[in-house]
């Protein structure tokens, strides 16, 4: 069964550093999402991406965040200058079409900002 | 100060018994609902979904019930097994809003042997 994959599984970084989280969507999926989950809290929507542009973003997704699909396969989330409160699990999710509404999640990247 | 994580409600259930997990959703305009299972350190795993034009849907050992009048969703797990121990989240979405998912707070299910 096709799966969403994410790398790295864990990332430790110093405050102020840039991080790039990577996702490989399921091959025929067209809609891509990033969510985050702070430890012990619920999953929160960050951003949705379709046709090489952002469809929607949450209040969390400020100017420090960016997404792109640089090579037509990988889908990346970049945090330019990490803050302590960015420590969380980051999940990529993908969706084939809006007529199939089930989003499939990757295993996540655990980001720890020190 | 540091934010405190949510205190998850916990459902303890004997192996072999049925489990019922409840969820109140927030947006009356949501048209699609999903139950996800999350095991420790892993991503949410799809269990079952239901569209707003239905009130019940059955899968293998799982049933989802939707009550739009009171904005309530439930997940029933038949003959609960140790492998069902996890945190369960409901999520709602609207096609008109790009299908972004809004998650509920989650319920921890502990299956006792």
C-alpha span between A6 and A82 (Å, rounded): 19
* Overall average pLDDT of the B18-37 stretch: 94
* Overall average pLDDT of the B11-35 stretch: 94
Question: Which residues, 6+ apart, have CB-to-CB distance to A72 below 8 Å?
Answer: none
Q: Say yes or no to pLDDT of B52 above 80.
A: yes
- Among B3, B43, B99, select the one facing A107 at the smallest CB separation: B43
Q: Are B95 and B83 in contact (CB under 8 A)?
A: no
Q: Are B91 and B34 in contact (CB under 8 A)?
A: yes
CATH class of B20-112: mainly beta
Identify residues of B whose CB sits under 8 angstroms from chain A CBs: 3-6, 8, 32, 34, 36, 41-46, 49, 89, 91, 93, 95, 97-106
Highest mean pLDDT among A18-22, A102-106, B8-12, B28-32: A18-22
Q: Say yes or no to pLDDT of B68 above 80.
A: yes
Q: Do B42 and A91 touch (CB under 8 A)?
A: no
Q: Identify the domain containing residue A21 by its residue range.
A: 5-113
Q: Which range (A28-32, A61-65, A96-100) has the least confidence?
A: A96-100
Chain A residue numbers with beta carbons less than 8 Å from the beta carbon of B105 are: 42
* Overall average pLDDT of the B21-49 stretch: 93
Q: Does A25 touch chain B (CB under 8 A)?
A: no
Q: Do A107 and B102 touch (CB under 8 A)?
A: no
Q: How far is CA A107 from the centre of its chain?
A: 11
In this structure, what CATH number is given to the domain that contains residue A58? Answer: 2.60.40.10
- What pLDDT band is residue A100 in, cutting at 50, 70 and 90? low
Distance from CA of A82 to the nearest CA of B (A): 17
User: What are the backbone angles phi and psi of residue A105, rounded to the nearest 5°?
Assistant: -100, 145
Domain count for chain A, please give it.
Answer: 1
- CA angle at residue B52 from B50 to B54, to 5 degrees? 65
Mean pLDDT of chain B: 90
pLDDT (0 to 100) of residue B34:
95
């Amino acid at each position: 069964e096709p799966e969403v994959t994410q790398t790295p599984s864990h990332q430790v970084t110093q405050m102020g550093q840039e991080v790039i989280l990577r996702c490989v969507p399921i091959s025929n999926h067209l809609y891509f999402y990033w969510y985050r989950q702070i430890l012990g809290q619920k999953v929160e929507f960050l951003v949705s991406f379709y046709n090489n542009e952002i469809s929607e973003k949450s209040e969390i997704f400020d100017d420090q965040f960016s997404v792109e699909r640089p090579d037509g396969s990988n889908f990346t989330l970049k945090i330019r200058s990490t803050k302590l409160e960015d420590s969380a699990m980051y999940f990529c999710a993908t969706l084939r079409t809006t007529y199939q509404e089930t989003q499939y999640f990757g295993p996540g990247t655990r980001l720890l900002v020190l | 100060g540091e934010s405190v994580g949510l205190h998850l409600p916990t459902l303890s259930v004997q192996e072999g018994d049925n489990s019922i997990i409840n969820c109140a959703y927030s947006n009356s305009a949501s048209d699609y609902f999903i139950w996800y299972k999350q095991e420790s350190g892993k991503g949410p795993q799809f269990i079952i979904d239901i569209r707003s034009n239905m009130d019940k849907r059955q899968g293998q050992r799982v049933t989802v019930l939707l009550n739009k009048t009171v904005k309530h969703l439930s997940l029933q797990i038949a003959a609960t097994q140790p492998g069902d121990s996890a945190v369960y989240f409901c999520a709602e979405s609207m096609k008109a809003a790009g299908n972004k998912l809004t998650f509920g707070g989650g319920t921890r299910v502990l299956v006792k042997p």
